[in-house]
A and B are shown apart, each in its own frame.
Chain A
Amino acid sequence: MHLLKYDFNYSRRAFLAKAGTLAGAGVLAPLWPLIARGADIGKAYPDELMSIEAWTKGKIKTGDVITAANVDVVKELLTPIAYRQIKEMGRRIRIVATTRDVSRLFPHDYFEATLRNAGKASFGADGNVYAPNGERWIGGNPFPDAKTPVEAYANLTLSWGRHNNAVYAVKDWDIGPDGKVNYQYDFVWFEENTCGRLGPGGAFGSYTGDGHKDKLRYQTVMFTGPSDVRGTAYLNTWYYDQRKFPELVGYVPAFKRVRKFPTNQRFEPLAPGLTFYLSDAWAAGDPMLIWGNYKLVERRPMLGAVSHNQVDDPNWELATHGGPEGKTFFEYDVELIPECLVVDAEPVGFPRAPLGRKRAWIDARNMMYIGYHTYDRRGELFKSFEPAYGLYEKKGVKDLTGKHTTWSWTSVMTHDIQNNRMSRFVQAKQIAGGYKSARNVEGMYDKYLTEQALGRMGA
């Protein structure tokens, strides 16, 4: 018989006690010192936060599948839309064990940099994050043990994919209320950080010239299929100053040339049927300081798809289920995350935004969001943006980034709950056009992240 050291409400009381304080992660002990020592994070949390069985008093066990029949047992651990999906729309999720080795929740180099640079970040008078010498950030999470909502959002914003750069070959399916796949797109997403870089070349690599030194990242999204949108591409150039909108240029095949676009319309789909917006990317698709009224709502345990979601499909695609046609949801493995920061923010820099608020659930262990909701201006739930992550290893097959097993996102489901439209997409191995997912690619800026590149790649 397993004896509990703490009663079931211990963690709830502990989280409540931390509310409004500048306490960091951990209930029984501070989390990050344990992580830094490579110790078991179980010492930071009581059993009920490390085991779904303990949390549910034995009603749910690792390996169980959560369906409409038993979802009420874990309702508190789910985002509101995930709960509705399971309760009303036929979605199911499978419980896997909580990850105790936090290094498995990061890309290797990023984890090392997070440990190495802990405590070096601070906010400048302009609200931006700076390294001790006043330079741009130097790598890893600037605030690994975020105590404020803005610190948490700085972790999400300064490095999206947590590699120097990445190519995400994305296959997307858009499902209508009837459960049928109405649209399908292939697009490739390129992102490259100009600071906080890891490995040879230093924190800024070659991005020290006048044209780069005020930048945070370059990011291109280009559709490669179907043929009606093939070649449509947009290049976002992000300033390091998070008060400034990125620059946006685009290649529209009809015009056959690269043109400048306004950058403040970030709450609109990029193509018919898509339910995600530029603003949704990484739950931090807009410069951090264009949003405001950040609020740390609470800390709480959650279920999140942060491990075991890399599958052995040849093209890294996922099985589906649920909805009227059995095609609406991906199969996700979720684990009990002992502590998430629940952060709200408002789109103060966007007049006439369709949103009134966004909420992100951020895993305290790796400071990556595991759930993201937006609310309309009436305060009603609008959309969910639910990612899955993991180490890219399964059945003995590994995908490597450098010498280490790749860690990245594997898929996302974004659900417009008001219109019941779902866009779900995977980071595929390869998509139409021959683009392959990769990380830390040499020469990415020249190849994909300039206006010249847009003109070349466009159809």
Chain B
Amino acid sequence: MKKKSSIIKLSIIGLATVIGLVLSFVPISFGLTKFTSFARAVKLGLDLKGGVYAVYEMDEGQSTANLSSRMDGTRTRLQDLLVDKGYTEATVVKDGTQRLRVEVPDVDEPGKIFDIIGKPAELRFELEGNTVITGKNVLSAVADYDTQQGEYVVSLSLDSDGTVKFRDATKAENKDKQISIIITVDGEDSTISSPKINDQIVNGKAVITGMESREAAQNLADQITSGQFDVKLSLLESSTVSPTLGARALMLSIIAGIVGLALVIVFMCLVYKMFGAVASFSLVIYTVLMLFFLAVIPGVQLTLPGIAGILLSIGMAVDANVIIYERIKEEYRGGRSILASYYAGFKKAFWSIFDSNITTVIAGAVLYFFGSGSVKGFAITLLIGIVLSMFMALVVTRSIIKYVLHINSSSEKLYGLKRGKDFENLGADVTDASIAEADAAQKRNKDGKKDGAAGGLANETV
């Protein structure tokens, strides 16, 4: 009975994997809707796919005092803006003393770079023709949703200077006067809104209301952010740019990955026999899931080192299996049956796998939250790899092995196990009866508890 259901379960897992593999590599179209394969949907970095570039030049007539450090500051803010938008692999470099060169990966139209960076907008609040505060007084501009009014807004936090000026402008005697919020893009002024002063605002928070959509609010917030740049920039040129490494590098890495994966599978099957085969099968599932997550999680732009990192994570994913199998071997050597060794092996290996992976997760999470640019992107890839490999070893491989053992739990040879000196004549499944009994007892116990709990509840209601 158990054997039959195990075969069915294994077939289902196998089928799901095949479907996953197809979805990963073959684009499918239903009527007019097209689904890109996971592998194709993964965004690639500048080195593998190229993207667009734009060169910004400092506007004429600006002060050149501290130019170098101001350019550095502008560059950092631009880079942060790009990372915020999920372009962790975008680069910003100084080109000479007065220009910045931005490269954004995996975008095909040069015009899109403006969608990403936004056209820098200068902001000012005017009261009766006098400027109250400008974008320079803005510490941060974020898109928000005003639940009371039910509309999207841009919230501004002002610096101390701006707070004082804004407080003075909104004092009681100016009540009911209009404040105009004006932005200047490419030298053209436009008034976004002219709210009336209701109350004095002392906390340094200003809100721009009347945004049409979340997108509009976000765009304005970005424009204001880029308008605060220490150096005013205009676009000099922008166009597409080819990958620095190109298609050959990508293809060779993929070939290397496939060969490496195949060798690992051969190694595992030779050393751990049936267990190794299960691990190899899990490895295929791991690859499918990895591709899926890389495709859907934002902030991932795979670069060549990223691919190498994933290949390495495949090696590390096997690691957890090796730990478990060595444990199982050890337990079997020590006289347990195959089934009992399996239970003990997974149980004992659990904490060592958990602890070792959590430590790495800590490192990855810190790098994600505190690192910048490409470090952040690499940390995401690392985190996906670790969490997935832990899940694979502790959940997926474990279940598959259980089903396989239900089909056969008596062949030493099949699993590559060997008895220790003291237990040479012990049968491979000699203690199975007792284990199965304990298993059944545990299950009865669980069911009993459930029934009991339900019963208890029923009793209480009565």
A and B interact physically = no
- Write the residues of chain A forming the contact surface with B, with a CB cutoff of 8 angstroms: none
